Structures are given as C-alpha cells and as structure tokens.
Amino acid sequence: MMDTILTLAETVRAEKGGGLLHRFSFGHVGNSTQAYETEWLYIFIVWVNIISFIVVMGPMFWFVFKYHRSKQATNYQQSASHNTPLELAWSIIPLLVLVPIFFWGFEGYLSKLASPSDAEEIQIKASMWNWEATYRNGAQPHPRDYVKIMESDLEVPLIVVPQDRPVRLIMHSSDVLHSFFVPDFRTKMDVTPNRYTSMWFEAREVTLRGDEGTWYRRLPNGKRDFVGHKVFCAEYCGNQHSEMAAGLVVLTREEYAQKLEEWLNPYSEGMSPREIGEIAYKKRACNTCHSIDGQRNTGPTWKNWYGYEHAYADGQKRMVDENHLRENILYSQKTLVAGYPSSMPVYAGVLKDIEVNGLIEYIKSLSDRGPYKDAPQ
C-alpha cells in the first residue's frame, strides 16, 4: 500500500514539480530516485505538525478566552485532577501516527543502505578538509576540472556519476568524523575513521552545462553559479569545516566512461616537475591549508617559504631547503612551525615520489629566492 502511494506521489511530483509546501521546503525536486521518499516523509511530518498545532493551540486559545477568570463567578468549580479517557486519547492517537512514521522512515533508511548488486562503486576518502574520490579503474578527479561552488576562491574536487545507474559510495575517513551530504539527492551518511560506511543513489537527470560549455552560469548580479550538485560535510570537523565541499555532476554513461579514462593518468608525459607539483597541490588538497599568495591559513603560506629561515615550535630557526621540504611533506609532525596547529597528516607512503619532487619544485617556484625566473614578487 505504501509503495503504491509513493509511486502515485512520485508521478504527480514529476509532472507538477511538487506543491507549494514542497517548493517552499526544498526549492526544487530532488534529482535521485530515492529523493521522493525523503521528501514525502518530510512533507507528511510537516502536515502532522501543522494539524497537531491547530488541534492543540486552537482549543487552548479558545479556553483562555472563554474561561478567563474575570469572566467567571467567584464560586467557580475546580476541574477534576485527571480524566482517564482524555489521557488515553492524547497518548494513543499520537502513537498511532508516530509508529507509521517510524516504520516509514526506517524502511527508507534501509533502502538507502542496501545498494543493487550492479551498482557502480566509488571510493570516497574524507580528510580535513577534502573529499577524494577514487573510481574502479583507479582514476581520480583531475585538478584542471576542479570547480568553485562557494563564495571563496577555493577550488574543490569535481565528482562525476553516471545517469540512470545505481552508484554506491564506499567511504572512510583518514582523521576525524565527517558526513557526506548531497542536498539535491536528499541523502547523507556519516564517514568515520577506521571503518567503512556506504550509501547509494541513482541520479535521474544529466547535468546540463552552463555558459560556454562550462559548469557555471552567469547570474543577474554578474556572479557565476555552479550548475551541478553541491556536496558538503554535515559534521563539524575543524576550523575549515564550512569549506569542505565538492561539486558533483551527472554525465551520460558514454561521457562518464570517457571522463574516467581521461582522469586515469593526471601526470602526462612531458610535464615538468613544477607542473606536476602544481597539479598535486590541488589533487592532494594542499590548497585547503596552504595559500600561495602570502595569506595566513591553517598552515603556513608557500609563498617565499623556500630559501628563508622560519621559526619552529621547538624554538629553533631553520633554513628551508629541498631536504627540509621533503621531511616536512612526508613527516609533518617532526618539525612543527611555530604558531600553527599540528593538523597536517603524515604523507609518507601516500604520496608518490613524482608528487613529492613536484611539490618541492612548485614551492621553490613560489619563492623570490628560488631558481625560477618567473617566481611571483
């Protein structure tokens, strides 16, 4: 019976785009096959609350008006201490409403956990403050496809998923508790360290490109807006929690396969170490903590870091050269910079040698004491 109601509701919803309350609550129809279950349960609960408010508050205000003390005689009769039928009614009737809500919600929760056997699997690694996706062929989002989805200039990873195919996300955290939240899909799941959690969804509509074939459209105020779906962290995870985000777009199956092949090798032949480092700077989420323009962030800026002496937490000053950079990149906890928290993870065994060497060259290129003639001044 519930499945029939939901199927009918989904048909009406798809044709009319939802009612006034739906548009007020969500703004638009969710773009996943499971979204309508969440939306209709939410709308049902809202209506239960509205009706309950009227049933409770309406008589209360009427009784306050009708039985106000100034309107009563001085010898008014005191009410009974309790009324068994009334007390049973206000206990049993809400129970008859709340129990179906529980099973409705629990059924929807279980359906979002158990993915179809043919689902496309994507590994999601969460870390402060970045989402890293790894596809079945080992491909990862290329930094040149990163997008800006917030007011800040921070570029975040672009996650692609196929249209009309179940997608299962297998997620884990490398540090603290996070939560993968896609508002447009009406789905969210906690991402915890030392264990895997998973959820699945099936996107219904291909994301249409915006202006000039990009993932942006121009708003009337002149600003650019991301046309895809936004991914957020819904669990506070540190001082840059609000910027832990990603963009998500839905592609046709052909475009999806082509993009995975394109992302398979981010470091093309003929790239210089510096170019590789510039890609790794975004790919490994170094940009979430280290600026390249001199601005202070969670970690020290990389501008003019190489070739200068800097103070460290042990009271010593050290000249930054290639060996020092390599040690700081791979074993960040050995020498902590004064005035900064020890939040950087250890990258030994994570970064490839080509990435370590590239990052060192990229940092050198950002210093006016480095060997690169085009270093920023």
Classify each residue of 211-240 as buried b or exposed e, where b means 16 or more C-beta atoms within 10 Å of its C-beta: eeeebbeeeeeeeeebbbbbbbbbbebbeb
In the predicted structure, residue 296 carries a pLDDT above the cut 70:
yes
Confidence of residue 73 (pLDDT cuts 50, 70, 90): low
CB 167 within 8 A of CB 120: yes
Most confident range (mean pLDDT) of 149-153, 189-193, 264-268 is 189-193
Identify the pLDDT of residue 5. 43
Q: Give residue 27's pLDDT.
A: 54
Specify the pTM. 0.73
State residue 345's pLDDT score: 84
Nearest to 307 by CA among 297, 318, 316: 318
**pLDDT, tens digit, for every residue of 2-51?**
454 444 344 444 444 555 555 555 556 677 888 888 888 888 898 899 99
Q: Please return the burial class of 285, using the count of CB atoms within 10 Å of its CB with bins 0-12, 13-18 and 19+.
A: buried
What is d(CA 33, CA 187) in angstroms, rounded to the nearest whole number?
A: 11
Query: Is a pLDDT exceeding 60 seen at residue 266?
Result: yes
Count of alpha carbons within 13 Å of 20, Cβ hemisphere only? 1
Per-residue pLDDT for 207 more than 90? yes
Average pLDDT rounded to a whole number, residues 75-102 = 85
pLDDT band at 112 (very low <50, low <70, confident <90, very high): confident
Q: Among 74-78, 79-83, 150-154, 308-312, whose mean pLDDT is lowest?
A: 74-78
Average pLDDT, integer, range 345-355: 87
> Is residue 188's pLDDT more than 60?
yes
Tokens at 207, concatenated:
């994301």
Position 374 scores a pLDDT of 53
pLDDT (average), residues 316-335: 90
Alpha-helix residue ranges (DSSP H) falling in the chain: 2-16, 20-26, 35-66, 84-113, 253-263, 273-283, 322-330, 353-365
To the nearest whole number, what is the mean pLDDT of the chain? 85
pLDDT at 113 over 60: yes
Amino acid residing at 77: Q
Lowest mean pLDDT among 8-22, 74-88, 186-200, 281-295: 8-22
Scan for tokens 């129990």, then name that residue.
99
User: Are the folds of 120-263 and 273-365 the same?
Assistant: no
pLDDT of residue 163: 94
Classified as helix, coil or strand, 189 is: strand
Tokens matching residue 126: 């969460």
The reported pLDDT for the residue numbered 19 is: 58
Residue 117, classed as helix, strand or coil, is: coil
CATH topology of domain 273-365: Cytochrome Bc1 Complex; Chain D, domain 2 (1.10.760)
- Nearest Cα neighbor of 159 from 245, 285, 277, 235 is 245
pLDDT of residue 373: 55
Of 39 and 79, the one with more pLDDT: 39
| Packing angle of the helix pair 353-365, 322-330 (nearest 10 deg) | 130
Could you tell me the pLDDT band of residue 103, with boundaries at 50, 70 and 90? Answer: very high
Please give the share of the chain, as a percent, with pLDDT higher than 90: 43
Mean pLDDT within 218-232: 89
Q: Which superfamily does CATH assign the domain made up of 120-263 to?
A: Cupredoxins -  blue copper proteins (2.60.40.420)
Cβ 146 vs Cβ 227: under 8 Å: no
Buried b (16+ CB within 10 A) or exposed e, 124-134: bbbbbbbbbbe
The residue-averaged pLDDT of 161-178 equals 94
- Between residues 69 and 341, which one has the greater pLDDT? 341
Instruction: Find the mean pLDDT for residues 195-207.
Output: 93
Q: What is the pLDDT of residue 377?
A: 44
242-267 average pLDDT score: 91
Model confidence band, residue 356 (pLDDT cutoffs 50, 70, 90): very high
pLDDT score of 117: 87
Token pair of 254 as six digits? 């052909």
**Non-local CB neighbours of 138 within 8 Å, separated by 6+ positions:** 264
According to DSSP, the residues that pair with 27 across neighbouring strands are none
Distance, CA of 16 to CA of 280 (rounded, Å): 46
Q: Domain ranges for the chain, please list them.
A: 2-67+84-113, 120-263, 273-365
What is the mean pLDDT of the segment spanning 290-311?
91
| Band of residue 352 on the pLDDT scale cut at 50, 70, 90 | confident
Looking at residue 76, what is its pLDDT? 64
